[in-house]
Amino acid sequence: MDPSGHFSVEPYDVHELRSVLDDAIAKNLNKGSKLYQAYHDKIWERYGFASFMKTNQYNYLFGLLTGTSAYKNSAGNASWAREELITAFYEENEAEYLAFLALGAVGRFGGGNSGSNRVSKGRLNQLPI
């Protein structure tokens, strides 16, 4: 994590989402096509957008992302929409990422399993056997 509180490396699922969104941009999808619908539904379901984003907002961003929006379509708007989707997903899962980071730190600095369950020669004589 950098000093601003952001991860210097994206969590795997955020990186995966970014790749899928980039792929959707590159495909030049046609609204109404099976491939368009497959990307639309897969992203919505796989990344759980229904749990934190309204359908209309997702549809708007996905339309801008793919250049199929009724609004102004451009590479800049596609990039903006991609970052909005990624940010929303990241923020929804941020507590989980921080918990994993904390658990990793506890394991590394708080003792974890660093061989502490082994008995040293000095303590061997103190055991009641």
Domain boundaries, the chain: 12-96
pLDDT at residue 115 in the model: 45
Half-sphere exposure of 103 (CA within 13 A, CB side): 6
Percent helix / strand / coil, the chain, rounded to 5: 65, 0, 35
Instruction: Select the more confidently predicted residue: 21 or 9.
Output: 21
pLDDT at 119 over 80: no
pLDDT at residue 121 in the model: 41
pLDDT at residue 102 in the model: 76
- Determine the average pLDDT of the residues in 61-69: 97
pLDDT at residue 5 in the model: 54
Q: What's the pTM value of the predicted model, to 2 decimals? A: 0.72
Residue 76: which pLDDT band, with cuts at 50, 70 and 90? very high
Burial 26-57 (b: 16+ CB within 10 A, else e): eeebeeeeeebeebbeebbeebebeeebeeee
Percentage above 90 pLDDT, the chain: 62
What is the token pair recorded at 9? 């490396």
pLDDT at residue 4 in the model: 54
Cα separation of 47 and 25, whole Å? Answer: 17
Please provide the average confidence, as pLDDT, over all residues in the chain: 81
Residue 8: which pLDDT band, with cuts at 50, 70 and 90? low
Give the burial class of 61: count Cβ atoms within 10 A of its Cβ; 0-12 exposed, 13-18 middle, 19 or more buried: buried
Cα separation of 66 and 81, whole Å? Answer: 9
pLDDT at 77 over 80: yes
